[in-house]
Structure 1
Amino acid sequence: MPVRFIHTSDIHLGKTYRCLGGDAERYQDFFTTFANIIADAVKEQVDFVLIGGDLFHTGQILPKTFAKTIEILQPLKDAGIPCLAVEGNHDWIHRRDSVSWMEALSQLGYIRLLRPSRTGEGDYLFEPFDLEQGAGGHIEIGGVNIYGLGYIGSQAANHVARICEAVDTRRNILLFHVGVWSYSPVEIGNIRPEEALPLSECFDYVALGHGHKPYVVSTPDGRPYAFNPGSPDCVNFGEERYDKGYYLVSLENDGEVRHEFRRCSPRPMLVLTVNLEGANNADEALQRFAAGVAEKLAGGSDPRSPLIEVRLCGKVGFHPFELSRDRLRLALFEVCQPLHLEIKNHLSQVSGGGGEEKVKKSLAEIERDVLAELVGANSQYQGREEELVRLSLALRDLVLKGEVEGEELLALLPSGGAGCA
């Protein structure tokens, strides 16, 4: 008989913001989305559910996050539908002498955490899953063999051959937290399409995760074999451009895959660019800012408070510091009541002197120039200035938001930080 399953990934339970007073509501958003997926799995009476990593937003979660996760998974357990999962980079704990929250869920029977073991030579062993121990690398359901491999970082391509060598069964699924270049916007932890291709010879369905944009990877002859549902909710700004959902999949006896992308309905996330070109003073700029935002928000029908990122651009006749974040927030709150607001000030100041108009660099440009100069001063990093400046700013932004653990910051670094000290 064909098997039917739901494939979701990158749920990011526990994600929230710590400002504007909307943290509790945003925290709940991700649980609501996940609960809807689980409810659909029970309604469809699927054979199993796959979670391709990053169930949690950080490896060290609050006890209430764990409790709410169990509450959502309980109907699945009551219906006798196995939930198979692997760890993503956000689920990591670097101290392997501690039991992770993912392992705890597996030991309690709410998920079946798939994790292979390794031989002394580095080869993979996908041992049968032990229900009592809540551990193993391989499980068989309805004549289909599901293998699990979590996040292994920037060296993932070097592991593909060993993964294939460890598999000797038919009708196979691989659950793998990795992205595929040219499809995934994620920069770290990806493999190239040609490096992923050998997986198509061993597995009928490769269940991906990691990137938050949905995509399907096909063989050169057009057969789809690797599927990434993306994140079902908008985790970061920039994702508002992506479809959000999960896959309902039927794997036929002959290995043919029939997949349906089922859309979710995340809270509105908006990235608004407001051009203040030519504003002579801060008061004029604030009026234009409010009017510009109101125009861009006109016609919105979703009653939920949106998540908004505002990008200010243009050459102005005053110092950008005069548009403080507090003044901008007050002006925006007269137009709408966002659940969360982020402001990126890319304004440049125009100053006149001696009959010649000069444009001063924006704060963001000055910051990038200084960082690039500091990086380039070390001969070891010359030629990589742009890459390392981008990484430095990404780390800075995450730390300032105050919503990440050390594990997530380390996951941004190639090979978990090796070579970047």
Structure 2
Amino acid sequence: MSQESNNLGGSEVRDEADIFNILVATDIHLGFEENNPIRDQDTFDTFEEILKIAAAEEVDFILLGGDLFHCTRPSPFCIYKCTELLRQYCLGDKPVEIEFLSDPAVNFPTLSNPSVNYEDPNLNVSIPVFSIHGNHDDPTGQKQISAMDLLATSRLVNYFGRWNNHDKVEIEPILLKKGQTKLALYGLSHIKDERLGRLFSTKRL
């Protein structure tokens, strides 16, 4: 049936092939209370439920809004459980139907070989995950490495929006396309409110 014959009351019926189906989740805080014998599995159960919904709804990608981890240096078990769940639910034979149009070297500058993970020939990604970091899992220490960097270098998560120059911030969007629809995804990982406020007020963002 043609799109025109599907119109009801003058409203246009959009082609499903042009519609982004995105699951947005934030503040999962993996590892919170993991030493509590009653609550130790709560955050991991929550994350698995999110991934199950994403798989059942056949989303085009998952967008995480920060604080996937409760702390910058999560326990080995926390990282193990996170990677296990991502591999279980986000890798597979289902084709990814979104095109990546922007420059991966600009969007993922911390990677030695920048690329979006579902275009990596060594991986079979079925559900891409894009994520910024929050104030709980931001990079710290001498090398400025966090658990998000570990997920990015293992190619399980597309980690973007990290900005280290606090004198001026320039956000380059991730450009995606599905069918005839184009999407510009702007992301900025955590910057302290006071500093971000100064950047806005002095027009340096």
Shorter-chain TM range is 0.5 to 0.7
Residue 97 in structure 1 maps to residue 136 in structure 2: no
- Residues 247-270 of structure 1, C-alpha deviations (whole Å, 9 max, x = no match): xxxxxxxxxxxxxxxxxxxxxxxx
Distance 2:137 2:25 in 1: 15
Kindly provide the amino acid, as one letter, of the partner of residue 112 in structure 1. N
Q: 1:3 aligns with which of 20, 25, 39?
A: 20
1:120-269 matched pairs, under 5 angstroms: 122-126=168-172, 138-142=174-178, 143-155=182-194, 156-160=196-200, 162-163=204-205
Q: Is the 8 A contact 2:23 2:62 kept in 1?
A: yes
Alignment identity in percent? 28
Q: Which has the higher contact order (CA 8 A, sep 6+)?
A: 2
Question: Unpaired segments of 5 or more residues in structure 2?
Answer: 1-17, 95-125
Distance 1:94 1:112 in 2: 19
- Residues 37-92 of structure 1, C-alpha deviations (whole Å, 9 max, x = no match): 11110111111111111101111111111010011112123352111111111102
Distance 2:32 2:71 in 1: 8
CA distance 1:36–1:55, change in 2 (3 Å): same
Query: Which of the pair is proportionally richer in helix?
Result: 1
- Residues 315-340 of structure 1, C-alpha deviations (whole Å, 9 max, x = no match): xxxxxxxxxxxxxxxxxxxxxxxxxx
Which residue does the alignment assign to 2:161? 115
Q: CA deviation at 1:146?
A: 1.4
* Other structure's SS at 1:144 match: strand
Kindly provide the amino acid, as one letter, of the partner of residue 114 in structure 1. F
Distance 1:104 1:162 in 2: 30
Kindly provide the amino acid, as one letter, of the partner of residue 41 in structure 1. A
* Other structure's SS at 2:41 match: helix
Q: How many pairs are equivalent?
A: 149
With normalisation by structure 1, the TM-score equals 0.33
Distance 1:139 1:62 in 2: 34
Q: Is the 8 A contact 1:60 1:93 kept in 2?
A: no
Q: CA deviation at 1:139?
A: 4.5
Which residue does the alignment assign to 1:311? none
Question: Unpaired segments of 5 or more residues in structure 1?
Answer: 127-136, 164-421
Which residue does the alignment assign to 2:68? 55
Kindly provide the amino acid, as one letter, of the partner of residue 36 in structure 1. E
Q: Is the 8 A contact 1:118 1:125 kept in 2?
A: no
Which residue does the alignment assign to 1:414? none
* Other structure's SS at 2:63 match: strand
- Residues 288-333 of structure 1, C-alpha deviations (whole Å, 9 max, x = no match): xxxxxxxxxxxxxxxxxxxxxxxxxxxxxxxxxxxxxxxxxxxxxx
The structure whose Rg is larger is 1
CA distance 1:141–1:159, change in 2 (3 Å): farther
Q: CA RMSD for the aligned pairs? A: 2.4
Which residue does the alignment assign to 2:109? none
Q: 1:83 aligns with which of 115, 121, 129?
A: 129
CA distance 1:118–1:98, change in 2 (3 Å): closer
Q: Is the 8 A contact 1:31 1:69 kept in 2?
A: yes
Distance 1:118 1:92 in 2: 11
Which residue does the alignment assign to 2:29? 12
Which residue does the alignment assign to 1:65? 78
* Other structure's SS at 1:3 match: coil
CA distance 1:58–1:7, change in 2 (3 Å): same
Kindly provide the amino acid, as one letter, of the partner of residue 100 in structure 1. S
